[in-house]
Amino acid sequence: MTRKQRRLTLIGCALAVLAIAAALVLNALRDSILFFSTPTMAAEKHIQPGQRFRLGGMVREGSLVRGEQLKVKFDVTDGNATLPVTYQGILPDLFREGQGIISEGALDAQGVFKADTVLAKHDETYMPKAVADELKKTGHWKDDYDKKPSAQNVQGNAK
Amino acid sequence: MIAEAGHYALVLALVLALIQSVVPVIGARLRDPALMNVARSTALTQFAFAALSFAALTWLHVTSDFSVANVYENSHSLKPMIYKITGVWGNHEGSMLLWVLILALFGAMVAAFGNNLPRTLRALVLAAQAWIGAAFYLFILATSNPFARIANPPIEGRDLNPILQDIGLAIHPPMLYLGYVGFSISFSFAVAALIEGRIDAAWARWVRPWTLMAWIFLTLGIAMGSYWAYYELGWGGWWFWDPVENASLMPWLAGTALLHSAVVMEKRDALKVWTILLAILTFSLSLLGTFLVRSGVLTSVHTFASDPARGVFILMILCLFIGGSLSLYAWRASALKQGGLFAPISREGALVLNNLLLTTACATVFVGTLYPLALEVLTGDKISVGAPFFNLTFAPLFLPLLLAVPFGPLLAWKRGDIVGAAQRLTAAGIVALVTMAVLWAWTKGGGAFAPLMIGVAAFVVLGSLTDIVERTQLFRAPFATSLGRARGLPRSTWGSAFAHAGLGIALIGIVCETTWNSESIASMQPKDVVTVGGYQVRLDDVTQQQGPNYREAISHFTVMQDGKTIGILSPSKRNFSTRGMSTTEAALLTRGVSQIYVSLGDSHADGSIAVRIYHKPLVLLIWFGPVLMAFGGFLSLTDRRLRVGAPKPAKATKTSGALQAAE
């Protein structure tokens, strides 16, 4: 084979692999991405039952009900709309009422969000970014999310 | 005083880096040895000052000096000493300081051990290294000063994020940074070669050990991080395709490709232009990783509290270095001479295929990681790309790579014999097929996927060993002869066999863990028994205990098999009062390479406690594989050192000629 032919073989192989990869990526992007939504957006968009998405918002105070076999029910709210959520399993360490969470799952026929994953913030200064953005937009952002407990007296200096 | 000294040392390091970025380049232009040698002394002193600065911050953390904001925010006087030290890099400012310290360390190593490099090359490499250094010193001093004081010092600190108070933190970030930053050396070499417009096999011989070293650390760092997530986060998962994890995986994939293409360049003087590009891309991906983690674009346990100014600054550094180096590449790459010819089926061809698949796989990870960010910026839609995406894209690209791995080392340079290689792999192939059949029969009813993949993994492991078996003529020659031959084999041959086998072993662990993992979630009262994966786990009692800076509730479990007690597990819930946070400490019982994993949830008023119990078959292989890969890399590295130590042209040719014949 001449140098040119060899180079063409090489380029041909490379293009073939790239084409396959591009096809895989496009296919996967169509099927496996999850959209983020707040309860308000979920109501506006009329998300179909069974379609998976990520729900973000605050756990409404006083809405947490624990059932048999680690089943839990709680409401997720963004201030305007509220969506009931059910989940079975162990909630993260930092799951509390009044805190921002993100959960993954789908709506059932009754309009209840059946979550298979619940993520809570990692530490007291962390709030899922998508949730924080939405809360700021809708005006429900409370300043004390930024505050650090036991640090109020030196807050100004520490920053 | 100490804090100011540390700050001042950092400023001096910046000044030295600035000198180092300019003077040697002028020296190289004027061919002035004295000016070029400035690079060497500045690189060494710059490291000394960076180390001094780091030592100062460590001292402040160890002595709990809460008048320093960084210490106040991330330390507590009651914190155990080990976490006072590891807490130095358990926060944004400190971790950036570690980053530049390692950068300076690598520069100093080139300066110290690079006596036999061509003088202009060494000057330019160190200058390029100093450009990166100067940018990051500026970043630290301008946006993330670790030595900032608090006007009214508080009495007690805010403690380190409890999730980070773990021995994993002592090892994971330094390892990862040694890997990330280690690739800066290959980058600097590439930039220097482009400026000089000259590149040869000696260049590759120089770059390879540095790349290999960085790759070893990155491999161990990723594996360590994965194991840490596995036991610390309490979900029993070891890889989440989280953007931050992907940020470390991308340089690893590109670095692995670089490692292989550098072999072609060193042995055959081919693929020069490509190798240079890979060296640039690998470090660019490391920078991208730093940007993703440090800018606050993503939120995770890795991203400490951040502010937008930092993100913009790192983004500027990123654009400057990636844009600059790629422009330089576009401008100068055509000046580099083309290398040797090879047939498509040859060792070079196999390595090209390896590069092609690795870089494409890397590109899919890149798309999956950055597409959500780009989409949010462009349209405002928030999406998440999770494991399904990567399973559908990354896995299909990795499969042909796995099948090709055993063939590579069996093909000759220039023109290979694929039929011959296939014949030599017959034994490995047959064993792999038998494994598949047996497993499939044994797990009848289960899917065909797991047995198939384990068969592929067996093929990779046995195929990697085939090369060694062939060369030592094991089973054909008398055993003593084989042993003698095995001793005579170059270490890099052993190294690649181990590294490739490690890949297969990790795959076995991954497939077994994901397919046959059994899980049980239950609300347990004392004396309750749960059965998981053939083991009975009984909750005995719950006790309270006071730790240095936390209170913990420890649950005691007895693990039994067929009525016999085989171990005690004591997972706990820790409550850190300073931060008002609780963490779950999972407990692990290791049986061979399998593990039983117990993690706790909430406890209820009636005395019951939510418990999550997993049986994870062969899970330890997931991390044993990368350790084996790193060990293989280390073996190769010890081989390289001999050659790097003998750079005189005649001698080098002789040694590499001998190795070439053997490899």
Residue B653 has pLDDT above 50, yes or no: no
Q: How many angstroms away from the CA of A116 is the closest CA of chain B?
A: 13
Written as six digits, the tokens of B208 are 């390879």
A46-50, A94-98, B424-428: lowest mean pLDDT where?
A94-98
A143-152, B112-121, B321-330, B362-371: lowest mean pLDDT where?
A143-152
Average pLDDT over residues A2-29: 86
* B508 close to B618: Cβ distance less than 8 angstroms: yes
Identify the residue among A3, A6, A33 best suited for mutation to test binding to B, counting B beta carbons within 10 A and taking the highest. Answer: A33
* B179 close to B215: Cβ distance less than 8 angstroms: yes
The answer to whether residue B343 neighbours chain A at the CB level (below 8 Å) is yes
Residue A20, φ and ψ in degrees, nearest 5: -60, -45
Q: How many angstroms away from the CA of A142 is the closest CA of chain B?
A: 18
CB-based contacts of B584: which residues, under 8 Å, 6+ apart?
A93, B234, B571, B572, B573, B574, B599, B600, B601
Question: Looking at chain B from residue 94 to 113, which residues have their Cβ under 8 Å from any Cβ of chain A?
Answer: none
Average pLDDT over residues B314-331: 92
Which of chain A's residues have a Cβ under 8 Å away from the Cβ of B357?
17
Residue B619 has pLDDT above 60, yes or no: yes
* A116 close to A104: Cβ distance less than 8 angstroms: yes
The answer to whether residue B325 neighbours chain A at the CB level (below 8 Å) is no
Q: Give the DSSP H/E element, type plus range, for residue B537.
A: strand B535-546
Question: Looking at chain B from residue 459 to 518, which residues have their Cβ under 8 Å from any Cβ of chain A?
Answer: none
Q: Give the DSSP H/E element, type plus range, for residue A7.
A: helix A3-32
Q: How many angstroms away from the CA of A73 is the closest CA of chain B?
A: 15
The answer to whether residue A27 neighbours chain B at the CB level (below 8 Å) is yes
What SS3 class is residue B299? coil
Average pLDDT over residues B144-155: 90
Question: Looking at chain B from residue 516 to 535, which residues have their Cβ under 8 Å from any Cβ of chain A?
Answer: 521-523
Hey, are the CB atoms on A150 and B158 less than 8 Å from each other? Answer: yes
With bands split at pLDDT 50, 70 and 90, how would you rate the model's confidence at A139?
Answer: low
Average pLDDT over residues B313-341: 86
The answer to whether residue B91 neighbours chain A at the CB level (below 8 Å) is no
The pLDDT assigned to B631 comes to: 96
Which of chain B's residues have a Cβ under 8 Å away from the Cβ of A31?
388, 392
Written as six digits, the tokens of B522 are 């239950």
Smallest Cβ–Cβ distance between B385 and the set A17, A20, A33 belongs to: A33
Could you tell me what percentage of chain A is helix, strand and coil, using 3-state DSSP and rounding each to the nearest 5? 40, 30, 35
Residue A125 has pLDDT above 60, yes or no: no
Hey, are the CB atoms on A91 and B602 less than 8 Å from each other? Answer: yes
Percent of chain B having pLDDT more than 70? 94
Q: What is the 3-class SS of B437-486, one letter each residue?
A: HHHHHHCECECCHHHHHHHHHHHHHHHHHHHHHHHHCCCCCCHHHHHHHH
At B240-270, the pLDDT tens digits run 888 888 999 999 999 999 999 998 888 888 8
Q: How many angstroms away from the CA of A6 is the closest CA of chain B?
A: 7
The answer to whether residue B383 neighbours chain A at the CB level (below 8 Å) is yes
Which amino acid, residue A130?
A
DSSP letter for each residue of B597-640: EEEEEEE-TTS-EEEEEEEETTTTHHHHHHHHHHHHHHHHHHHH
Residue of B nearest to A7 (CA): B344
Hey, are the CB atoms on A69 and B522 less than 8 Å from each other? Answer: yes
Which of chain A's residues have a Cβ under 8 Å away from the Cβ of B301?
122
Residue B160 has pLDDT above 60, yes or no: yes
* Cα–Cα distance list, A117 to A101, A104, B38, B242, B410 (Å): 10, 5, 57, 15, 47
Written as six digits, the tokens of B70 are 């960084």
Which of chain A's residues have a Cβ under 8 Å away from the Cβ of B584?
93
Hey, are the CB atoms on B367 and A13 less than 8 Å from each other? Answer: no
CA atoms within 13 A on the CB side of B191: 31
What is the C-alpha separation between B492 and A4, in angstroms, rounded?
33
The pLDDT assigned to B8 comes to: 96
Hey, are the CB atoms on B150 and A157 less than 8 Å from each other? Answer: yes
Average pLDDT over residues A31-36: 79
* Cα–Cα distance list, B218 to B7, B174, B182, B337 (Å): 29, 10, 9, 32
CB-based contacts of B201: which residues, under 8 Å, 6+ apart?
B265, B266, B267, B269
Hey, are the CB atoms on A70 and B523 less than 8 Å from each other? Answer: yes
Other beta carbons within 10 angstroms of residue B115's beta carbon come to 10
Q: How many angstroms away from the CA of B430 is the closest CA of chain A?
A: 28
With bands split at pLDDT 50, 70 and 90, how would you rate the model's confidence at B303?
Answer: low
Identify the residue among B241, B360, B574, B603 best suited for mutation to test binding to A, counting A beta carbons within 10 A and taking the highest. Answer: B360
The answer to whether residue A23 neighbours chain B at the CB level (below 8 Å) is no
Chain centre to alpha carbon of residue B142: 29
Percent of chain B having pLDDT more than 90? 53
Residue A128 has pLDDT above 70, yes or no: no
The answer to whether residue A11 neighbours chain B at the CB level (below 8 Å) is no
Which amino acid, residue B236?
G
Residue B38 has pLDDT above 90, yes or no: yes
The answer to whether residue A122 neighbours chain B at the CB level (below 8 Å) is yes
The answer to whether residue A144 neighbours chain B at the CB level (below 8 Å) is no
Q: Is residue B522 left, alpha or beta, with left meaning phi > 0 and alpha meaning psi from -120 to 50?
A: beta
Smallest Cβ–Cβ distance between B389 and the set A29, A36, A148 belongs to: A29
Smallest Cβ–Cβ distance between A27 and the set B151, B353, B392 belongs to: B392
Which amino acid, residue B53?
S
What SS3 class is residue B173? helix
Which of chain A's residues have a Cβ under 8 Å away from the Cβ of B302?
none
The answer to whether residue A22 neighbours chain B at the CB level (below 8 Å) is no
A90-94, B213-217, B328-332, B630-634: lowest mean pLDDT where?
A90-94
Higher confidence at residue B654 or residue B464?
A: B464
The pLDDT assigned to B101 comes to: 97
Hey, are the CB atoms on B344 and A130 less than 8 Å from each other? Answer: no
What is the C-alpha separation between B600 and B613, in angstroms, rounded?
9
Which of chain B's residues have a Cβ under 8 Å away from the Cβ of A21?
360-361, 363-364, 393, 397
Higher confidence at residue B654 or residue B96?
A: B96
Hey, are the CB atoms on A33 and B163 less than 8 Å from each other? Answer: no
Residue B102 has pLDDT above 90, yes or no: yes
Other beta carbons within 10 angstroms of residue B147's beta carbon come to 25
Smallest Cβ–Cβ distance between A124 and the set B344, B388, B579 belongs to: B579
DSSP letter for each residue of B330-351: HHHGGGSPP-----SSSHHHHH
Hey, are the CB atoms on B579 and A123 less than 8 Å from each other? Answer: yes
CB pairs under 8 A between A and B: 134
Question: Looking at chain B from residue 555 to 614, which residues have their Cβ under 8 Å from any Cβ of chain A?
Answer: 573, 578-584, 599, 601-602, 604, 610, 612
Which of chain A's residues have a Cβ under 8 Å away from the Cβ of B392?
24, 27-28, 31-32
ipTM of this complex > 0.95?
Answer: no
* B539 close to B659: Cβ distance less than 8 angstroms: no
- Determine the length of chain B: 663
Hey, are the CB atoms on B604 and A1 less than 8 Å from each other? Answer: no
Residue B299 has pLDDT above 60, yes or no: no
Identify the residue among B156, B268, B299 best suited for mutation to test binding to A, counting A beta carbons within 10 A and taking the highest. Answer: B299
The burial class, CB within 10 Å (0-12 / 13-18 / 19+), for B563 is: exposed
* Cα–Cα distance list, A155 to A147, A149, B249 (Å): 8, 10, 37
The answer to whether residue B433 neighbours chain A at the CB level (below 8 Å) is no
Residue of A nearest to B393 (CA): A24
* B75 close to B85: Cβ distance less than 8 angstroms: no
Written as six digits, the tokens of B507 are 């795959």
* Cα–Cα distance list, B511 to B53, B92, B220, B597, B644 (Å): 45, 36, 20, 18, 40
| Stated pTM of the model | 0.89
The answer to whether residue B342 neighbours chain A at the CB level (below 8 Å) is yes
The pLDDT assigned to B91 comes to: 87
Which of chain A's residues have a Cβ under 8 Å away from the Cβ of B234?
93
Average pLDDT over residues B273-282: 93
At B346-379, the pLDDT tens digits run 899 899 999 999 999 999 999 999 888 888 788 8
The pLDDT assigned to B445 comes to: 67
Higher confidence at residue B22 or residue B448?
A: B22
Q: Which DSSP letter does residue B298 get?
A: S
What is the C-alpha separation between A53 and A57, in angstroms, rounded?
13
Average pLDDT over residues B454-470: 93
The pLDDT assigned to A121 comes to: 58
Question: Looking at chain A from residue 54 to 83, which residues have their Cβ under 8 Å from any Cβ of chain B?
Answer: 54, 66, 69-70
- Characterize the bridge pairing of strands A65-66 and A71-77: antiparallel
